[in-house]
Structure 1
Amino acid sequence: MNLIDRYIYAVAECLPNNIRDDITKELRANIEYMLTNSYTEEDVYRVLEELGSPMNLANEYNPQKRYLIGPGYFNKYIGILKVVVGICIVVFASISMVDSIINRYGMDLIDRIVGIFTNVLTGALVGTMQGAFWVTLIFIILERSGVEPGYLPAFSSEWTPDLLPEIPLNNNLKISRGETIFSILSTITFTALLYFQPQLIAIYIRDKNNTLNITSLFDINRLEIYIVFILILAVFQLGIFVWKYITKRWTMPLIILNALYNILMCILLIIMLFDNQLFNINFISAFSNLVNGSIEAITVWLDRARWIFVTFFIGITTWDSIRIFYKFKVYK
């Protein structure tokens, strides 16, 4: 695919849909006007260098001026903001509802309903603010760094036509939007649960007096040691999700970051799972009573389950990294 088509494609990706067709036609005419009748590839390269960065050129064409997020990213920003905020609202509201139902167990019905409703609204509001904050922060960093859409800050340099993205000719490297949304949902749910309400991961047993006894899986004080690392990885992965949404297809820098995230996630998971102080010592007793088994047998079973889960998780993440890398090598 020639440089002119790639340049016009890169500019179009930064434009709103309602003006994209008109601008691309005008831009193609301008480029052809700047070239001689018998132009060479070097002439095209020189003209495109004069025109400069596709994102900056798109900013000049776009009549809508944005101040926080520029037009090169604005449409993508709005798209992923809707997705992330929507997921955050559902996740935070759901967690708040479950927590409210449990904490108000046995209370007057009206008080329970009012309390649950209030907590759900509060959770939805917190989710909205959290989602909007982190997505906006990531896009501000991208915007202020002057990075072209499709390139990561660590790999960016002064723009030249060599940086023009290839026009996708097949869908083999296309990133599934459904898969991305599911991953975002999983990450937000896991992070929000561990950060805001880790005590909800527990065994719930109602005794003879109809009292609900709750035994948390985690030692909350010990879990706080890992929270900062969980948050860092969550933000890191959210950044990867944002870039997936922007590029819409796998690139080598994105593949490298995805593999790096998988490695870091495996390391953190292994450390946490084999930290016996992280788990509530009363949890095994409660679990053994629930299944009518001995503490020794339950301990052995949980230890085996831990090894099986770690092996499975490492296998899945390794396969994910290798599969994407192989696909890129074959179809790039």
Structure 2
Amino acid sequence: MSTPSTGTLSERYIWAASRGIPEKQRAELEPEFRELIADSIEAQRANGLSERDAEHAALVELGDPARLAARYTDRPLHLIGPRYYLDWLRLLKLLLAIVVPIAAAAAGVARLLAGGQVGDVVAAVATTAIGVGVHLCFWVTLVFVLIERQGANRSRPLLEWTPDMLPQLPSGNRRSLGELVPTLVFLAVFAAWIVWQHFNSFFTDAAGDPIPLLSPALWSSWLPYFLALIVLEMGFALWLYLRGRWTLTLALVNLLLNLAFTVPALWLLLTGQLINPAFEAAVPVDGSNVAAVSGAVYPIIAIALVGFALWDAVDGFVRAWRARE
């Protein structure tokens, strides 16, 4: 993710007002926004304010940049009503971005640990995501409808906008290069290790051949799938780098990639298909303790897989929200 950069209040206001406008209109409206802000600042300076105070007062007078953009593009702020529409939309987006991925991932893991097949896990994730999303939309909307009806005499939104709420300007791609390179290196090393471990091992059989860690039977199905998924992950990292900052689309793709890797990996691990049985037998522990060691280590690996995937998915949505368009 690109780390936000600082900028003047006016620059941040213009970016906030124009970020949701189509490119063609944005090029036309940005100069109008600049002129409007400059005129407002000049009017405030005429009242004896300093440059900084005049800028702040001018932006307060102009109001929420999203409302300004809607007015210039003739985009109605309806459904809930113009007073509470932006409050409703912002809260709903935040809850959908955080609650739905967490609930869906938890449902998938629960179904997997209960012994469900891959199809059952995917169905649990999909139905939970849809159900939670529908409930969030319904209840949040209902609450705002009640608020609007009870507050019919209110002339202000629930959260009064101030220039302090302006988002930081997004920085360019250069600063995200420090995240891109380690990600690509890690994924490349991981893919190379999957291939390498098949031909090299700490343990050998009676004939002196290496005993791979991952089950050789997976080369006919799942290991090529994971290698292809790693390539997709590398492509996603490049896409994110070129895009410059997280978006909701990127966060959703990141969630799908995490599910596509974690769900089958967990299923293979917990059903005993991931690790090569010959490798387990070659581990230098008392034979009667192999099952006990596996029973203790596998849950730890499973928890680590789920924890990393959940953290990465939620982090993507949080960053998308912070750099929201």
Work out whether the TM-score is over 0.5. Answer: no
Smaller-chain TM-score bracket? 0.3 to 0.5
TM-score (structure 1 length as normaliser): 0.44
TM-score (structure 2 length as normaliser): 0.44
